[in-house]
Amino acid sequence: MFFDPTAFLFLLPALLIAGLANWWVRAVFREASQIPAQSGATGSDAAAAVLNSSGVGGVFVEDVPGQHMDHYSPAEQGVLLRPEVHDGRNLTAIGIAAHETGHAIQDADKHPLLAARTAIVLLATFGSLMGMILFVGGFLIVEQILVYSGIAIFTATVAAQLFNLPVEFDASRRAVPCLVQTGVITPEEEPVVRRVMQAAAFTYVSAALTSPATLYCYLFRPLRQPRHTKPV
């Protein structure tokens, strides 16, 4: 049997913290979305201002209907935004768009960690799914090699999520001064936009908080099982 009640001593606090992090991110986005930008700028205006202020050329800003997340694509050299962010005239839209454009600045400056970021995001998405499939598959067919393959992949996923955090916070740090200098936001609006950008980066923190807890559950539950002895 794979159930280990002691895992909850580690799992529950981590999941609680991750839940609070998710609640805080949503609360920040919801509050800032109710505040119109005094300049009347949209998210796309904010992205363009950050690009122009930082001297980054050759990067397009585009809305992508049906997209589930806002992101900067190094391969396409584009900032891809959901319509509500691209056309939104509130501080949430401006903060999210500027945060993603901060990655374009990192790309132009040859940030040492950005080159690995795309692979990290793909690994975190694919690895989490594959780790789960292998682990559950190994459990169902009682094949230990699949269980431990799932554990190995999930471990790499956890490391990737933690590795990505400094890149996210650095993107926000680079973009904020550009918004103020170009007049997209006022100094009075800056604290709210900073919170939005921190929340955008913090979505990775909540994922990283959840993953080690899940990893513990996966790793130590099979390892802690008592070996069955053969009857004499």
Contact yes or no for 39/93 (Cβ under 8 A): no
pLDDT higher than 90, residue 228 = no
Q: Which has the higher per-residue pLDDT, 130 or 181?
A: 181
Q: What are the residue ranges of helices labelled H in 35-143?
A: 43-53, 83-86, 91-108, 114-141
**What pLDDT score was predicted for residue 226?**
47
Residue 88 lies in a domain: yes
Q: Higher-confidence residue: 113 or 51?
A: 51
What contacts 117, CB < 8 A, 6 or more positions away? 74, 103, 164, 167
Q: Is residue 228 part of a domain?
A: no
More confident residue, 120 or 141: 120
Structural contact between residues 157 and 211, judged by C-beta atoms closer than 8 angstroms: yes
pLDDT in tens, 27-64: 999 999 999 999 999 999 999 999 999 999 999 999 99
Catalytic residue among 62, 84, 100, 190: 100
* pLDDT for residue 35: 97
Q: Is the pLDDT of residue 183 over 70?
A: yes
Catalytic status, residue 100: yes
**230 falls within a domain:** no
Domain presence at residue 72: yes
Q: Is residue 68 part of a domain?
A: yes
State residue 186's pLDDT score. 96
Indicate the number of domains in the chain: 1
Question: pLDDT at residue 220 above 90?
Answer: no
231 in a structural domain: no
Residue 232 lies in a domain: no
Residue 63: inside a domain, yes or no?
Answer: yes
Q: Where in the sequence is the domain holding 138, given as residue range(s)?
A: 7-223
